[in-house]
Amino acid sequence: MKPRILALGEGALTLEFGDRIDPAVNARVMAARNAISSLRLDGISDVVPTYRSLTVHFDPLLLDRTTLVEQLVEIAQAPTQRSSEAESSGTAATTRWLLPVIFGGEFGPDLSQVAQATNRSEAEIIETLCSLELRVFLIGFLPGFPYLGELPEWLRLPRLASPRAAVPANSVAIAGAQAAVYPWQSPGGWHLLGRTPVRLFDIGDAARPALLAPGDTVRFAPIGRDEFGRMSIAVDTGKIVRKDWLS
């Protein structure tokens, strides 16, 4: 698909690279994000990458829209070189996280149904999920909420027919080709498999409030109840800090 520039009102432009979830498309999005950020244009307030597009929010009275469109066209037209650059440099710089998760029981109330629906054992579900190196495609829905992908075909299930009114914070969940961690208690329709002691969003850290960023990778590691308890306390008391979750 040829990149397109779409108007989201007069104060935002969306640079669209594709219409589906595809790691190659996402790599172009991230390359374009870097290219725009490096322009350091006054008047841009937010640059928001998604799976397949990049939305630039700006003040059209501070930044000439026509000029910005021209710059976006230029960035979109040099995708191959830019994305390969980003990918080669990205490989070296990729931030890899290892997030401990307690699976099943009260922490993952949907694990048994997921096992039934996929005709696998609960152990196989956990083993599969923990064997994957998942890519952070997008942060959205809630502050710090990561969309992780992709799950193997057999583990892809539709969302719950009736969403829960309150998914506990720190729940690890799956839906379709994606996995996610809920940083906040919220309504949600994904299948809950477990819970992590890791704090995904810290409002006290204005420089980097979200733990994960698009382009990072995440692995899950199973832990037991005692370990979950110990780690949760250590997070609360500051004995475990963010970099301790790096792989």
Q: Which parts of this chain interact with another protein (CB under 8 A)?
A: 6-12, 14, 16, 19-21, 45-55, 57, 60-61, 65, 138-145, 183-184, 186, 201, 203, 206, 209-210, 214
- Beta-bridged to residue 16, according to DSSP, are 4, 53
- Of the two residues 54 and 155, which places its CB atom closer to another protein in the complex? 54
CA-to-CA dists, residue 61 to 43, 75, 76, 82, 213, angstroms: 8, 22, 24, 30, 30
Residues 57 and 46: beta-carbon distance below 8 Å: yes
CB of 168 to another protein, least distance (A): 14
Tokens of 24: 């190659």
- Of the two residues 130 and 157, which places its CB atom closer to another protein in the complex? 157
Tokens of 96: 């890899």
- Exposed/middle/buried for residue 166 (C-beta within 10 Å: 0-12, 13-18, 19+): exposed
- Of the two residues 76 and 223, which places its CB atom closer to another protein in the complex? 76
CB of 50 to another protein, least distance (A): 5
CB of 230 to another protein, least distance (A): 26
CA-to-CA dists, residue 92 to 17, 85, 96, 151, angstroms: 24, 11, 11, 24
CB of 29 to another protein, least distance (A): 10
- Of the two residues 120 and 141, which places its CB atom closer to another protein in the complex? 141
CA-to-CA dists, residue 148 to 178, 214, 215, angstroms: 5, 9, 10
- Of the two residues 71 and 84, which places its CB atom closer to another protein in the complex? 71
- Beta-bridged to residue 4, according to DSSP, are 16
CB of 179 to another protein, least distance (A): 16
Q: How far apart are CA 37 and CA 128, in angstroms?
A: 37
Residues 73 and 193: beta-carbon distance below 8 Å: no
Residues 247 and 98: beta-carbon distance below 8 Å: yes
- Of the two residues 107 and 145, which places its CB atom closer to another protein in the complex? 145
CB of 72 to another protein, least distance (A): 13
CB of 193 to another protein, least distance (A): 21
- Of the two residues 61 and 73, which places its CB atom closer to another protein in the complex? 61
